[in-house]
Amino acid sequence: MKFIQQAYNGNNDWLAYIATIFLMFFGWQLIGIIPLVGVAYNHSENMSEFLNAANDSFMTLGINSNLYLILMIFTFFAGLVFLLIGVKFIHKRAILTVITSRSKIDWSRVMFAFCTWGAMGLVSFLIGYLVFPEDYVLNFKLVPFTILVLISFLLLPLQTSMEEVLFRGYLLQGFGTWFKRGFIALVLTAVIFGLLHSANPEVEKLGYITMVFYIGTGLLLGIFAIMDEGIELSLGFHAANNIFAAVLVTADWAAFQTEALFIDISEPQVDIVLFLPVIVLYPIIIYVFSKKYGWKNWKEKMFGVIRKPVVFDEDRFIA
């Protein structure tokens, strides 16, 4: 529980959380979006076209997909910066405390999670391609694809890191110390994480049944954070998931509209394949991580009471 208990290191009042969340949304949705709005406006022939695109998607204005991806990533980067400012100056906590309970970030954990989930994702895609080759069309364009790969590996982790610091760090700790149970914090952050993805085009196309995938992913990443006492594994997993999603395959109904290697031309449908990661792959990766990092005390970490650590004051016992 050390990771969740770190919320007690600074100002843990609920007003501090409201102020910080407001600050984060200010940076994310108002400051971070300025470059995107500027580019979109320049691509519009008139204000009416601009407003119509704003209600739908600025992608409809014909903005280069790689440029659009950079501009979208910047909005998340701005949100992350303002969130960390809130942690530092409103909560008066070290930024490291919303990332890990260790003395420094364990980058080996980040890379292990990245490589493990990246490999599993690549194998899953290859199986799908071999079984249903008619569903995919090769979309390789050397220059746009190379730029996409560079953007994805260098910048896309900023987007995933913002979500992980917010949900598996900041909010998990906040809910954990408020409700005194890691399991409650886990469920709340997973549900909120899922609901914030409800505007994704996949949800519009397939319906709210896809919330099972998003909420399930939120539960998985929260389990990583609670059991591993930090979000390093969550950071690596989430980065691999989004990078490979952006680079490998795209579809006209997918959240990532990129110059990916393949285009999925199949008609999306709700079937067992949609839930395969949650049902099969997620339990496997939990098992792999738990064995590698020796996770123990599941019951205590998930359902035990979270208390403020007692600080021993030696001065009170000096004669």
Q: What is the pLDDT of residues 82-94, one digit of tens each?
A: 999 999 999 999 9
Q: Is the pLDDT of residue 298 over 50?
A: yes
Mean pLDDT in the chain?
90
Neighbour-count burial for 81-106, b at 16+ CB within 10 Å, e otherwise: bbbbebbeebbebeeebbbbeeeeeb
pLDDT at res. 186 = 97
**80 within domain boundaries:** yes
* Distance from C-alpha of 167 to C-alpha of 308, rounded to nearest angstrom: 21
CB 72 within 8 A of CB 66: no
Which spans in 132-155 are helix H? 142-154
**19 within domain boundaries:** yes
Q: Is the pLDDT of residue 283 over 80?
A: yes
Q: Is the pLDDT of residue 101 over 90?
A: yes
Domain that holds residue 242: 2-307
**134 within domain boundaries:** yes
Sheet holding 249-250, edge to edge: 136-138, 262-264, 249-250
pLDDT at res. 318 = 44
Q: What's the one-letter identity of residue 287?
A: Y
Q: Is the pLDDT of residue 175 over 70?
A: yes
List all residues 6 or more positions away from 151 whose beta carbon is below 8 Å from its beta carbon.
66, 69, 70, 73
**Token pair 């991580």 is at which residue?**
289
Q: Is the pLDDT of residue 76 over 90?
A: yes
* Distance from C-alpha of 222 to C-alpha of 201, rounded to nearest angstrom: 24
CA proximity to 28, closest of 66, 88, 74 = 74
CB 214 within 8 A of CB 88: no
- Helix, strand, coil percentages for the chain (3-state, nearest 5): 75, 5, 25
**135 within domain boundaries:** yes
Question: What's the N-to-C CA distance of the chain in angstroms?
Answer: 35
With cut-offs at 50, 70 and 90, classify the pLDDT of residue 312: low
Condensed to tens digits (0 to 9), the pLDDT of residues 193-218 reads 999 888 777 777 777 888 888 999 99
Q: Is the pLDDT of residue 74 over 50?
A: yes
Tell me how many domains the chain contains.
1
Condensed to tens digits (0 to 9), the pLDDT of residues 212-269 reads 889 999 999 999 999 999 999 999 999 999 999 999 998 877 766 889 999 998 877 7
Region 288-314: mean pLDDT is: 86
pLDDT at res. 319 = 40
pLDDT at res. 311 = 61
pLDDT at res. 317 = 41
Neighbour-count burial for 126-159, b at 16+ CB within 10 Å, e otherwise: eebeeeeeebbeebeeeebbebbeebbeebbbbb
Region 288-302: mean pLDDT is: 94
**99 within domain boundaries:** yes
Condensed to tens digits (0 to 9), the pLDDT of residues 139-167 reads 999 999 999 999 999 999 999 999 999 99
Condensed to tens digits (0 to 9), the pLDDT of residues 32-64 reads 999 998 888 887 777 777 767 766 667 667 788
pLDDT at res. 299 = 92
Q: Is the pLDDT of residue 24 over 60?
A: yes
